Amino acid sequence: MEIPGFTAYVIGDSRGARVSRRGGVTRWTSTSARIAWFFEAGGPGTLEIALRLRAGKKDRGLLEVRAGGKSIRVAYGPTPREGVLLPAGKVRIPRKGWFSVTVRGLKREGTAYPDLLGLRLSGTPVVGIRYNRLPRRNCASVHLKYPLPKGERVEWFYNEVTVPRGMDPLYTYFEVCGFRRGYFGMQVNSSRERRIIFSVWDAGGERITRKRVKEADRVRMLARGKGVKVNAFGHEGTGLHSHWVYPWKAGRTYRFAVRAEPTGKNTAYTAFFYVPEAGKWKSIASFLAPKDGGYLGHLYSFIENFGGRNGCLERKAFFGNQWVRTADGKWIELKKAVFTHDPTGGTERFDFGAGVKGNRFFLWTGGFKPGTAHGGEVLERKGGGRPPASLPLKGI
């Protein structure tokens, strides 16, 4: 069987090669860039490896192929335009499980290393093999949905999050306080910048562009905190987005709170983030959602890998001490959560999971290792925590 070139990841120097559905791995110029394919072998046995590659008339060099703890060096030279199949040796696969084949450039003549069009695998481990067949390289999005007691008017949703060190790669959104009309969390959006993000959806159901949304269906900004930027968004529903640039750190626990204040057929949603350095709550933004008029509902948290270039890396977060406060001032601790995942999970990606540890829920996704949870699984922590000692009850 042959795994397409576009299913590979570039590890190390992520800009040292390009991966596309049409060309596979191209423009590979960096010796620091390693090209990796990940797959779950169906069982033990001898795995035969070959690279389908294409090289120019003046291109030649040496590659290192690593798999199953073995390193194999293969030389390449000019190929026909359609490419050739270059044998890269055999390795022993000891068991069913997740493995990788990684290719590194050792030396070359010419402008670039060869284009990698595919990875040919054969032998008994191929029987029952699984890998992500789609051009979308993101790991699965994973969620915790918190059931609410029936009949309660939930005005506040409070949650805490801790991202372990090393589990915060680029292109990750750790959503902490989600609700039926929006979401609130923290993001790693570039190598130099991290953000606190709060967004609320318009009414009307438009998915793509806000230009099509009627004025009566549009979310309006009521206020925003100092240094917070607000703009419209689309392509995932439409609405208003706000973000505050803040260098949050892995290994620290952060506190989030969202408030709903219904007025007639509208609801004002306000997001607050507790800044530990300042020792106080910071208002992010307050948005008026039309055609609503309700309190908070459908509460959730999630981890999303929104840029697939590094979808091979693991992400993880702990969510703990969840509370809601009702409109009549009663605090209720949330001790149950239902685990779910997006359509990528369970069809193309199987490396995800959830659980309870130390009285906190956790989610993880990515890393190409065995999963630890299934969709619909109910998780329960012991509880017995304390609600926040103070909240910014006077609003923004």
Q: What is the pLDDT of residue 395?
A: 43
Q: How far is the CA of 267 from the CAs of 181, 196, 205, 371, in angstroms?
A: 10, 22, 17, 39
Cα separation, 71 vs 49, in Å, equals 12
Which whole number is the average pLDDT over 342-369?
97
Asked if residue 396 has pLDDT above 50, the reply is no
70-124 residue pLDDT tens: 999 999 999 999 999 999 999 999 999 999 999 999 999 999 999 999 999 999 9
Half-sphere exposure of 76 (CA within 13 A, CB side): 37
Q: With 0-12 CB in 10 A as exposed, 13-18 as middle and 19+ as buried, what is 262?
A: middle
190-207 in b/e burial notation, b at 16+ Cβ within 10 A?
A: eeeebbbbbbbbbbeebe
Residue 284: name the closest of 264, 263, 270 by CA: 270
Cα separation, 199 vs 176, in Å, equals 12
Please report, rounded to a whole number, the percentage of residues in the chain having pLDDT higher than 70: 99
* Cβ contact 324:344 at 8 Å: no
241-284 residue pLDDT tens: 999 999 999 999 999 999 999 999 999 999 999 999 999 999 99
Higher-pLDDT residue of 393 and 233 is 233
pLDDT bin (cut points 50, 70, 90) of residue 393 is low
> What's the pTM?
0.95
Which whole number is the average pLDDT over 65-71?
95
Asked if residue 188 has pLDDT above 80, the reply is yes
Question: What average pLDDT does the structure give for the chain?
Answer: 96
Cα separation, 210 vs 223, in Å, equals 20
Q: What is the pLDDT of residue 394?
A: 53
* Cβ contact 340:359 at 8 Å: no
Asked if residue 352 has pLDDT above 90, the reply is yes
Query: Domains, the chain, ranges and CATH?
Result: 2-126 (2.60.120.260), 142-380 (2.60.120)
Which whole number is the average pLDDT over 205-213?
95
98-109 residue pLDDT tens: 999 999 999 999
